[in-house]
Structure 1
Amino acid sequence: MVFTVMHMDEPVANVTISEDKKNVEIQKLVPDSIKQPFGGNKLNLERVYDFLKGRCYEDGRADLQEILLQAGLASNNPWEWVKITHGVTYEDMFWVRFPDEDLTWEDVRVR
Structure 2
Amino acid sequence: MYWQKNAKNITKYVSAFVLALALLLGTSNAASAVGKNAKGPDVYAIQSMLKSLGSYSGKINGYYNASTVKGVKYFQKSHGLPVTGSVDARTYQSILYAYSSLKLPKVRQGG
TM above 0.5: no
Which structure has the bigger radius of gyration? 2
TM (norm. structure 1) is: 0.33
TM (norm. structure 2) is: 0.33
Q: Which has the higher helix share?
A: 2
